[in-house]
Structure 1
Amino acid sequence: MIPEDRPDRIEEAKALEAEGRTEEAAALYRDILEQDPENVRALNNLGTIWENDGWLDSALGLLDRAISTAPEIPVLHYNRGHILQGLDRTEEAIDAYRQALALAPGMTAAARNLSQLLYGEDRLEEAAEVLRHWLTVEPESAIARHALAAVTGEGAPDRAADDYVTGIFDSFSTSYDEKMARLDYAVPGLLISRLAHLRGEPAGSLAILDAGCGTGLCAETLRPYARTLQGVDLSAGMLARARDRGLYDELTEEELTAALLSRPGAFDIVVSADTLIYFGDLRPALAAIAVGLRPSGHALFSVERLDEDDGFRLGPSGRYLHSRRHIEEALAATGLTAIKIEELTLRREAGKDVAGYLVIAER
């Protein structure tokens, strides 16, 4: 824990942060540091505010000062690693997370970030070692179990567990939109352009489901087509961001196959942007979509591409990759007719293009 230096004023600043009054909190932290330049809590907390504001170099300077005063505090190394990660100084971030774990072996947030960075550097054995350690601390962690299966290829589940998906997306719901923008995330725009080709100019006449809606990145362009626009997602954190957009008629915290099966024939359009990548075998999800669609309704979804001839595979990213043949067979098995299966780039990740398929199907 960080020492309780000047707790009265520190707690006042923390209360301001909790109320969303971050500018006032930052001003108070700066005032504290003018009086006490090595106040570790003020340095750390102001660094966190500046990181969230995008002032990463300045935030890093504050964390460096804090660590020079109190190198034994694990959270300082963790926060420093997070800033370095944002600066794409990957090797330094790895070292910072390792230091945090050396001081606090039970800090699972550091284990998660460290394993993800090691995966991104293609250091899979090191990532697996970190994940195995994580499971000794937290044996029931769905995130650690799934990630270990992904990087080792051992014991891969048929689909990602609900608590894995919830844990992942709740954890970065507040930064999701910004992160996807940095990755040149193209799927929402691509799906909407294909919807326009299918349905022409928007007339506000369609019942649309955004299945796995996340923070609602598709909502702005779906809304003009929609008489009703519904969204479902497992992550309460993501739904909170989607709700802030004020564009959905209904948002529910629900697993998408259950949502569709409980709403037979309810939708003209089902859109699923980068959600079916958490399913291995696509048939259960596509069967549910077929149930939820009205006759002549359309499904538009994206998956990551597997270049092998058949099947699907859990990739080291923790997401599933699907072959064209598997997509075609799953569509046929569930009563959906493929209109188009298009190869394209979904986004950038770790400096590389992520190859995928954009699929349009009709009931």
Structure 2
Amino acid sequence: MADPRLESCLALHRANHLGEAEAGYRQCLAAGIDAALPLSGLLLQQGRHAEVVDLLEPRCTTRVDNANMAINLSIALRKTGRNDDALRHARQASELAPQQPAAWNALGLAQLESGAVADALHAFDRGLGLAPGHTALELHRAKALRRLDRHREAIAVLERVVGAAPDLLEAWRDLTSARNALGLYPAALDSATSALRLAPNDLDVALEHAVALLNAGQTGNAIKRLEKLEADPQTWMWLAQARLRDNDVAGARAAYERAATHDPDNPFIRHFLAAIDGHLPEAVETDYIRKLFDDFAPRFESTLVDALAYGTPKTIAQFLERSGVTSAQEVLDLGCGTGLMAAELAAPGRNIDGLDLSERMLTQARAKGIYRALHAAELLEFLRGSEQRWDLVLAADVFVYVARLEPVFAAIHDRLAVGGHFVFSVESSDGADTQLPPQTGRYRHAPDQLEQQLLAAGFSDVRREPLTVRMEVGQPVRGEIMLARRGD
């Protein structure tokens, strides 16, 4: 039976008299009564994670058999940035108490933090096997599913969670993100609105709601909301995007300039200000592209394929087949992303190498097991530094991020074997030159001009075919596929 003094503290804790409970727990500890575990729980409630570490870490060194202490210490260590130690204590807890759902939850969270997402999903599943419908485990399982790009499954889980716990703000916010990832914008607005009702004064929640309005096509309402928010660089950038959607170019420039005063080195701000002012950069914008796709990697395939009806890789593969380009053995996939292009071309005896600026994209491409080699590098630097030759070089939806293609064409020509082919897609400009519409921030090229540049670089036999690159705001984006051959 517990000491009466400890029982009194526990009663205060249960009644939410946290100050009195904490004082009592500390008096118990001073008197030699073991109150470390309930005190750590109280401190975790208040987000005092460093204090939990100081309290429990020395005790867990000697009390290696206490699963509950290991669980609480794991949580605190993870929150203070010591995830390797958090993972070690969570594993210890799951081994000591494999029938305790909280141990599997702690383990899954530490694994999720370390990037072992599949392992984390397994841990959450183990916990749910012991406690079906457990809200925290379901919520965290949905986070793992989202990290694995399994957004539809995550949505189903989160819809159950908000049904059972309609006041759980984090679940509504995660549901908004998952719906956005699949382009389910009206539904995302519904969940963002529910989150805002729960936390009307939370600036992050208010920004997410304004972005949901913009995605759902309510541009005017989004602008009004964004203009009322306490602005930081992210808010100014979203306001600029909303004003561009509203064709207010001057207002967008003003918003980007405000953002730049707070974050002058931000590659996104520099890129879109250049777009607004009509300045095409001479060099490839490596920082912009890398950050764009590092941020985009977790939802890249679901967004393009599911939400934007992106089918360029398949269309390029079919175009190559119709053009008789089917025997290439050595293939280079430029801007390979997560491997959508290689998946269309993989064949026995064919070696495919991939190149991308984004390490996070390459991680997903590597998991497909299609590529012989993957390289993280800037396109021109890689081509000019390589001595390898390929039979086929591809660039699917890559040149929307590159302004000047003449040096790229020359470098690709040098790396092709004699008789080899180069195929790529572009978004088409509505004039005779390259354009950078600020509404999208993607380069549109003039196919007639590109054909002349290909010929000047030494290519021949240029073939072209119209292409619908993707759907945006319900409208097709016009482009072309272009194929050229390196002659003798």
Return the TM-score normalized by structure 1. 0.82
Choose between structure 1 and 2 for higher RCO, CA contacts under 8 A separated by at least 6 residues.
1
- 2:251 maps to a residue whose letter is E
Question: For the residues of structure 2 that align with 1:71 and 1:312, how far apart are their CA atoms?
Answer: 44
- Shift in Å at residue 236 of structure 1? 1.5
Task: Flag the structure with larger Rg.
Answer: 2
Whether the aligned pair in 2 keeps the contact of 1:272 and 1:302 (CA below 8 Å) is: yes
Equivalent residue number for residue 224 of structure 1: 347
Question: For the residues of structure 1 that align with 2:264 and 2:414, how far apart are their CA atoms?
Answer: 37
Alignment of 1:1-363 (within 5 A): 7=47, 15=109, 18=113, 20-21=120-121, 27-28=135-136, 42-43=168-169, 45-54=170-179, 63-85=192-214, 87-99=216-228, 102-103=229-230, 105-108=231-234, 110-153=235-278, 155-181=279-305, 182-199=307-324, 206-224=329-347, 227-264=350-387, 266-309=389-432, 311-316=433-438, 317-363=440-486
Question: For the residues of structure 2 that align with 1:136 and 1:176, how far apart are their CA atoms?
Answer: 30
SS for the counterpart of 2:352 is strand
| Alignment CA distance shift 1:277-1:37 (3 Å) | closer
Superposed CA offset, 1:41-76 (max 9, x none) = x51x22233234439777756654553454332111
- 2:436 maps to a residue whose letter is L
Larger helix proportion of the pair: 2
Whether the aligned pair in 1 keeps the contact of 2:285 and 2:402 (CA below 8 Å) is: no
Whether the aligned pair in 2 keeps the contact of 1:119 and 1:151 (CA below 8 Å) is: no
Question: For the residues of structure 1 that align with 2:251 and 2:406, how far apart are their CA atoms?
Answer: 34
SS for the counterpart of 1:71 is coil
Superposed CA offset, 1:126-181 (max 9, x none) = 3222211110110111210111111232x331344110111211121111112212
Question: For the residues of structure 1 that align with 2:320 and 2:365, how far apart are their CA atoms?
Answer: 21
- 1:127 maps to a residue whose letter is A
Question: For the residues of structure 1 that align with 2:441 and 2:349, how far apart are their CA atoms?
Answer: 33
Superposed CA offset, 1:234-273 (max 9, x none) = 1112212212222111111111122222234510000001
- Shift in Å at residue 96 of structure 1? 4.5
- 1:261 maps to a residue whose letter is R
The two structures, once aligned, show a CA RMSD in angstroms of 3.4
- 1:72 maps to a residue whose letter is N
Question: For the residues of structure 2 that align with 1:58 and 1:28, how far apart are their CA atoms?
Answer: 23
SS for the counterpart of 1:322 is coil
- Shift in Å at residue 83 of structure 1? 4.2
- 1:262 maps to a residue whose letter is G
Whether the aligned pair in 1 keeps the contact of 2:207 and 2:226 (CA below 8 Å) is: yes
Question: For the residues of structure 2 that align with 1:279 and 1:33, how far apart are their CA atoms?
Answer: 43
Superposed CA offset, 1:214-247 (max 9, x none) = 1211111111276211110111122122122221
Superposed CA offset, 1:100-125 (max 9, x none) = xx32x2242x3444433433343323
| Alignment CA distance shift 1:265-1:29 (3 Å) | closer
SS for the counterpart of 1:313 is coil
* Higher deviation after alignment, 165-174 or 50-59: 50-59
SS for the counterpart of 1:189 is helix
Return the TM-score normalized by structure 2. 0.63
Question: For the residues of structure 2 that align with 1:77 and 1:69, how far apart are their CA atoms?
Answer: 11
Percent sequence identity is 28
- 1:75 maps to a residue whose letter is D
SS for the counterpart of 2:425 is strand
**Stretches (4+) displaced over 6 A:** 8-14, 22-26, 29-37, 55-59
Give structure 1 stretches of 5+ with no counterpart.
none
Question: For the residues of structure 2 that align with 1:36 and 1:304, how far apart are their CA atoms?
Answer: 45
| Alignment CA distance shift 1:320-1:266 (3 Å) | same
Whether the aligned pair in 1 keeps the contact of 2:334 and 2:354 (CA below 8 Å) is: yes
Give structure 2 stretches of 5+ with no counterpart.
1-43, 48-71, 80-104, 140-160
